[in-house]
């Protein structure tokens, strides 16, 4: 067990997974925009899996770093926002939905930065985690044009249902963050 911990610490696998996820984003974008939805979906799912894996490894082996704290959520947002913007480009989802999703991300990220400058940590809440899961499920379903649900004999628009769930959770979690952390808006600059 000690050798395993040393090996992981020496290489800092969580940070390497985060970097791999960031490097996968341009490949994912190119593959998706070239019309290879299945290949793009595989890349997206693998990248999304690294998001879950790097956090678990970092916590289990006490490998939490400042780099990881900054880059892990940034890599997650870059991956999902890239996917959503490409899906707008391809005509698979309406642009207004992506504007709402992007707006929420900018607002919450800004709040976190202001709070962090004051030494306050705004932790991720359950609604934000549910939002992320809904997005991570909606994106592959949309890229695969609702497969495997499109094979069912009745019309089951699972891709649209999960997309709308992601949008609702985006709004809900954004409102929850703002309400719970409204003191961030009234902080005065100490300078």
Q: What is the pLDDT of residues 136-185, one digit of tens each?
A: 999 999 999 999 999 988 889 999 999 999 999 999 999 999 999 888 87
pLDDT bracket for residue 190 (50, 70, 90): low
Q: How far is CA 82 from the centre of its chain?
A: 10
- Kindly state the greatest CA–CA separation across the chain: 65
Q: Are 161 and 138 in contact (CB under 8 A)?
A: no
CA distance readout (Å), 101 to 15, 28, 98, 111, 173: 26, 20, 5, 16, 11
φ/ψ (deg, to 5) at 49: -65, -40
pLDDT value, residue 65: 85
95's tokens? 């642009």
Written in H, E and C, the secondary structure of 129-180 is HHHHHHHHHHHHHHHCCCCCHHHCCCCCCHHHHHHHHHHHHHHHHHHHHHHH
pLDDT value, residue 3: 55
Q: Rounded to two decimals, what is the model's pTM?
A: 0.87
Task: Quote the DSSP letter at residue 183.
Answer: G
Q: How far is CA 185 from the centre of its chain?
A: 25
Sign of torsion over alpha carbons 171, 172, 177, 182: positive
pLDDT value, residue 4: 52
In terms of pLDDT, which residue wins out, 164 or 121?
A: 164
Question: Under DSSP, is residue 68 helix (H, G, I), strand (E, B) or coil?
Answer: helix
């Amino acid at each position: 067990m000690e050798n395993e911990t040393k090996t992981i610490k020496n290489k800092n696998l969580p940070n390497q997974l985060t970097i791999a996820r960031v490097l996968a984003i341009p490949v994912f974008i190119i593959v998706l925009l070239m019309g290879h939805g299945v290949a793009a979906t595989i890349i997206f799912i693998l990248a999304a899996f690294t998001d879950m894996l790097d956090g678990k490894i970092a916590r289990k082996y006490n490998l939490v770093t400042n780099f990881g704290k900054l880059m892990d959520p940034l890599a997650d947002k870059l991956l999902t926002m890239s996917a959503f913007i490409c899906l707008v480009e391809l005509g698979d989802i309406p642009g207004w939905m992506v504007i709402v999703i992007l707006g929420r991300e900018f607002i919450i990220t800004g709040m976190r930065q202001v709070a962090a400058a004051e030494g306050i940590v705004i932790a991720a809440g359950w609604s934000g985690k549910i939002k992320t899961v809904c997005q991570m499920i909606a994106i592959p379903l949309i890229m695969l044009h609702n497969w495997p649900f499109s094979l069912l004999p009745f019309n089951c628009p699972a891709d649209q249902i999960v997309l709308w769930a992601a949008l609702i959770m985006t709004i809900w979690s954004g409102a929850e963050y703002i309400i719970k952390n409204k003191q961030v808006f009234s902080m005065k600059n100490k300078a």
